[in-house]
């Protein structure tokens, strides 16, 4: 498909080229224009001007209004306007990318939930996995400084009730100590032992007993509403 590029070059014609160089506008302008060799209609002139450093076929004419400001501008201050026409080819437009699928925002309500800290049989040592759980709790407590937490120590059914109650206390205390060492105010923490009286699951198998040797947390964290962007 062919098209045309239009460039406009404005040149000032020196008054010495015109027969009526000192003619004031309104005083016999057309004879002066005629004496200069110019015509009132656009004239074709091959190679009369350069566009992009190449000669181009042009049409030019003398403007009706003076280029200079002021009613007594002489003919020599009027400009000749060249319209340069260049043929060129239109390039095909590349395919547009596929539209991005729309997304929407949904309101999500949530609150912090923490897992249990598990212990070995008859032990109260805090391992790396247990520390990771407590670290999450510590971060949440720092985010919500008005929340208090109860640390509960538990045991499986192996051993006496008294022993398991004491073991639950030791497990709760080791977690509380870790929390205080990592910046939680001790006044925000309560600790207690429930021994083997409230198992998380029945003590029917060794795998289930491992789940009951634990510390768990009771904290009244507020629900938090957030906007999440999802695909339609």
CA distance 15 to 35: 12
Q: What pTM does this model have? A: 0.53
Structure tokens at 207: 């795998």
Question: Which residue reads 């059914």 in tokens?
Answer: 157
CA–CA distance, 185 with 195 (Å, rounded to integer):
26
- How far apart are the C-alpha atoms of 122 and 156, rounded to whole Å? 9
Identify whether the C-beta of residue 137 lies closer than 8 Å to the C-beta of residue 114. yes
Smallest Cα–Cα separation from 61: which of 11, 4, 5?
A: 11
45 - beta bridge partners?
58
Q: For residue 218, give Cα distances in angstroms to 149, 153, 192.
A: 6, 11, 11
Listed by start position, the domains of the chain span: 2-89, 103-231
Domain 103-231, CATH among 3.40.50.10490, 3.30.1330.60, 3.10.129.10, 3.30.1330.10: 3.30.1330.60
Residue ranges in the chain assigned as alpha helix (H) = 29-35, 128-143, 161-181, 206-212
| R_g over Cα of the chain | 46
Beta strand residue intervals within the chain, DSSP E: 2-12, 43-51, 54-61, 79-89, 103-110, 117-118, 149-154, 189-195, 214-219, 224-231
Question: Residue 212 is encoded by which pair of tokens?
Answer: 């009951």
| Closest alpha carbon to 150 in 114, 182, 126, 119 | 114
pLDDT tens by residue, the chain, 232 residues: 444 444 444 444 444 333 344 444 444 444 444 444 445 555 555 555 555 566 555 555 555 555 455 444 444 444 454 445 555 666 676 777 888 877 777 777 778 889 999 999 999 999 999 999 999 999 999 999 999 999 999 999 999 999 999 999 999 999 999 999 999 999 999 999 999 999 999 999 999 999 999 999 999 898 878 777 777 6
Query: Residue 124: which residues within 8 A CB-CB, separation 6 or more?
Result: 167, 170, 171, 173, 174
């Amino acid at each position: 498909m062919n098209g045309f590029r239009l460039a406009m070059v404005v040149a000032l014609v020196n008054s010495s080229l015109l027969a009526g160089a000192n003619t004031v506008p309104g005083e016999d302008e057309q004879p002066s224009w005629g004496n200069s060799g110019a015509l009132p209609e656009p004239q074709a002139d091959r190679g009369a001007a350069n566009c992009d450093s190449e000669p181009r076929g042009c049409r030019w004419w003398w403007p009706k209004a003076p280029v200079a400001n002021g009613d007594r501008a002489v003919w020599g201050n009027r400009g000749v306007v060249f319209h340069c026409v260049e043929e060129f080819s239109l390039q095909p437009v590349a395919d547009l990318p596929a539209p991005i699928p729309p997304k929407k925002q949904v309101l999500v309500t949530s609150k912090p939930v923490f897992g249990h800290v598990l212990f070995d049989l008859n032990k109260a040592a805090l391992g790396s996995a247990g520390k990771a759980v407590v670290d999450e709790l510590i971060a949440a407590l720092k985010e919500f400084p008005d929340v208090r937490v109860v640390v509960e120590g538990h045991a499986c059914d192996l051993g006496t009730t008294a022993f398991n109650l004491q073991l639950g206390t030791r497990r709760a205390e080791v977690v509380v100590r870790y929390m205080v060492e990592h910046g939680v105010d001790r006044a925000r923490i309560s600790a207690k032992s429930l021994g083997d009286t409230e198992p998380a699951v029945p003590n029917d198998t060794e795998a289930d007993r491992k789940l009951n040797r634990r510390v768990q947390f009771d904290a009244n964290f507020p629900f938090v509403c957030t906007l999440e962007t999802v695909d339609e």
